Structure 1
């Protein structure tokens, strides 16, 4: 086989088996993010919880264990059960954190909250959980979820919920275009969605990643409002208590 034929074969293999296909995303980052969110919830003051302290974390762990069992190392297998469990887990994390935020705001507005220092800590916990929870939500929903994004050909992927800068860099300078979605078969992973969540919680709007679908716009709107309430109302009220 000549050198030219070898290069052609390698190129053909790269097209059929792109960088992300088959291997899938590693399981550990998603598990770590979920456990951090659970830990932050467990550390909240009792008055912000709507159920016994360990009830919701136990439910979340109960949903997480079979997800790990289905894909212990890398996210390569997608079943109906896996999809339902993963979406249910994210829903529980998001709903419990938004509920805690609502109770915290109510306590500050209607109750005689005297311990400003603990309120500051609780507000920070809710804000951090907000970033993790919505980052996981974006990760699970966009283009069919983490398994579909790495295991399906692009022409079989569902419509994208987000447009990343890599999705439109194919006409840039070579060193930038080489990392574009078309040329490198790039797909976003958990870190990319957590970054979207961080910027949405700090700027209260999308930055370099644009929401495309209605559900993505609704989720980003809810997250922005929650972050705004936490930053402006909760923290400001807690600081005033300190004085």
Structure 2
């Protein structure tokens, strides 16, 4: 019997990973692959919460650079995460995984409002909970949402799924052939080296609440399960390295 090393996880899925090879929008093959991988983990008895990014549809910072008010641009980005979350919910439920979407911005016709105790109850009942619309506030990223929700629901770890890299490197591996991949890091090292794993707000939140982070590639099928079972793939970031 396979024994997971984590009981409750937050899976951070970037908008880019949902776009797959297309680079924009939602690629059905990719979202179905992610759903299948999540199902494998749910079947192990692991409680799964998911935070979706929205970069495959809209990026608030990019919008503000084009002249849109930053707050407005960020709210537009939050709506993009809702679209991704609904698509992922549909993919999960089509393969028999009960799922709830909870949004930080009220939109009762399509999703539940985010309520911490209700989210935890869903997880305890074996439902996947997808947290959409970021924190509900502009100027915060979905990385910060993942860190905040992980702290609120007392998750054991954040799994950060990437579609271009398989961990954290000392430099951009696509630009620097000498870039070194790290197996383990501390959050302080991430901040001091400016490695860009998460934004500084999310990094500090994880560090202050002692939440571990695993950065890995989502493109290889079965990787989420491998991480949950304790296999050493990607890069693990902790408050301190033993």
Q: Confirm or deny a common fold (TM above 0.5).
A: no
Which one has a larger percent strand, Structure 1 or Structure 2?
Answer: 2
What is the TM-score when the length of structure 1 is the normalising length? 0.29
What is the TM-score when the length of structure 2 is the normalising length? 0.29
Which one has a larger percent helix, Structure 1 or Structure 2?
Answer: 1
